[in-house]
A and B are shown apart, each in its own frame.
Chain A
């Protein structure tokens, strides 16, 4: 069979567009309505998505309460409980949640994801992240952020313990730098061998960790060249760890706005952009750049020079590169990033969206895509009813699930 692309449905609050909640058709109570999430999961399952994916942070997204109160992102479900509820209301779709190695312990996390895996019959995945946000740090008694390298060293040890626990019999305790674990896990082995390991860090040390341990990698790439460079680099690193390039599925984020005609799609996008308040856009950009005083600079002027940050290194570089390349002002950049959070945006018809996805997929820049609908439920519905059938017609996406587990869907080996 010809190679087909993998698709994730990235579910997030009222939508990925920062102003999504204000859209007349967005479900504004998403963050307190479990039935809404169950419905989204069923929509994605009916469209044969490989997985739904939930982001996570152990704290508010925005420290400035005035700004935060103009977004829908300060409240929502905790993702592991959310996916456990969805697990018994769906039957095939993969269920992937983010959880941080900074504020959890490996034994508890391994056990919780294994339970989700059993509840779902082998459909669970863990997206490993390290926490860079000072807002999160303040909820865990930390006085300051740990330097980037330390966070990743802890993450590497964390991942090693979790995979050891998931692999069962071979685990004989762990006594390391950050963690000590005495017993093997007391639950039975995963129905899919082990839950799927997902990662998103794109810095050099993040890539090494992914090459060593990840089954799936989410990434942000604006251009084909960026995506291709990342893809080749990461696949090239797998050999060091005795793995094949195909053992890792690379799935860049894509933020599509799709409609029957191109002009309708443009209108839809402009309608959303017009709902972004300037102070919200600038605040979001500031937090991505890990700087606090962006608002001091003229909003119609260029991005100032930035100091090296301890936060999101790779993402910061991406933003700076784009602003210099396109000569964007702070306001333009803020709106641009507020809309897609630095991910790749496509506005157009189903055929145009499919063309773009096909080019990156067949050009060797992606194994699939993590789809980030701008608002819910409308834009997930639009992707499912317009783009998915187009991809299926082209033979680029499945018409039926190949198996029952997330590893089956992704074509991943079952771990020994």
Chain B
């Protein structure tokens, strides 16, 4: 089973959320436990001040230099960034982390963001869905603008790259027009991992077409299983392998919920309720230590969780192949 750990630094309590050293210690702990990825978001609910001084993408860049294996995923909003800028930021994070970066996009619109990004009226639900779909297509397209073998580095011949292996996007759509290409080279893992969350029923086809990982909120076991099956059917219907999209179900961690947790996770996984779990860290971060020290070794003994990372990139951890034509 796959494991993500989600940390909203804006509402974390204790030192871990507020200093680079504290967050580094937490992420290294997750890395030592062979967690596949951490997902960092940075916005508090309402207009509460953040408990952390950091923004997620800049924090992930810093974490990339002090970790070696763990995947590093940052939440970033489609309202706060233009698609070209966002694609660049994450392509660069992927280069900095040697292929361990991912983008956590939400398809839910945050009113507060719109109000701070010169969109006081926001978008209608329909417009926002079409805009999100267009946005994802642009970012994925930009990430594939350079072939993996485009850079020649031929000093004596004077050929830095092969112009045939650099591709314009030339996107002209309803909300954006983006010529491309990106000015960041091809990702070491083909492209950053796309992690979608905040999905409503009407977003599932968009997610099935584009996502590498889908994060779902926690429901009753039967419902989890039905949703998982539904998503995999939609993935197949798009002409993708069902295994090309990993579905992780949220698990809220509290000191009280640790008892019997390994059994519950095993049951959910074996009944095909999901491909793994997204451990949502509680406000009190120390509970994660108990999870890593008690629950994960238990799952490992049962043969349900990896002893080692499978490779060096986030895609390899998740068992995903490359994102497209190289």
Contacts and interface: CB of A to CB of B under 8 A. Distances in A.
Interface string B156-199: 10111111001000000000111111011100000000000000
Contacts of B50: 186-187
Given A21-B155, A76-B184, A186-B47, A112 B117 contact: no
Given A78-B184, A183-B112, A70 B159 contact: yes
Given A57-B183, A58-B85, A69 B159 contact: yes
Interface residues of A, number: 63
A66 B160 CA distance: 10
Given A82-B61, A89-B65, A186-B48, A115 B88 contact: no
A253 B153 CA distance: 28
B59 interface: yes
A77 B55 contact: no
B2 interface: no
B81 interface: yes
B94 to A, nearest CB: 10
Which of A61, A75, A118, A183 has most B Cβ within 10 Å? A75
A139 B179 contact: yes
Interface in A207-230: none
A22 interface: yes
A60 interface: yes
Interface in B184-231: 184-185
B44 interface: yes
Given A85-B65, A108-B117, A186-B47, A28 B153 contact: yes
Q: Report which residue of A38, A82, A139, A186 has the largest number of chain B beta carbons within 10 angstroms of its beta carbon.
A: A139
Most chain B Cβ neighbours within 10 Å, of A22, A61, A76, A186: A186
A38 B115 CA distance: 37
Given A57-B183, A183-B47, A84 B59 contact: yes
A88 B62 contact: yes
A71 B49 contact: no
Contact of B93 (A66, A70, A81): A81
A107 B151 CA distance: 36
B84 interface: yes
Interface residues of B, number: 59
A115 B161 contact: no
A32 interface: yes
Given A70-B158, A78-B89, A78-B184, A181 B53 contact: no
Contacts of A85: 61-62, 64-65, 96
A341 to B, nearest CB: 18
Given A82-B96, A139-B84, A183 B54 contact: no
A126 B162 CA distance: 34
A57 B85 CA distance: 10
A105 interface: yes
A3 interface: no
Contacts of A139: 84, 178-180
17 contacts: A34-B64, A69-B162, A70-B159, A75-B184, A78-B91, A81-B93, A114-B53, A115-B55, A115-B58, A139-B180, A141-B177, A181-B115, A183-B47, A186-B43, A186-B47, A186-B49, A187-B55
In the A-B complex, the 4 residue pairs with the smallest Cβ-Cβ separation, listed nearest first, are A84-B61, A78-B92, A115-B55, A118-B53
Interface of B: 10, 20, 43-44, 47-50, 52-55, 57-59, 61-62, 64-66, 80-82, 84-85, 88-89, 91-93, 95-96, 112, 115-118, 120, 146, 151, 153, 155-156, 158-163, 166, 176-181, 183-185
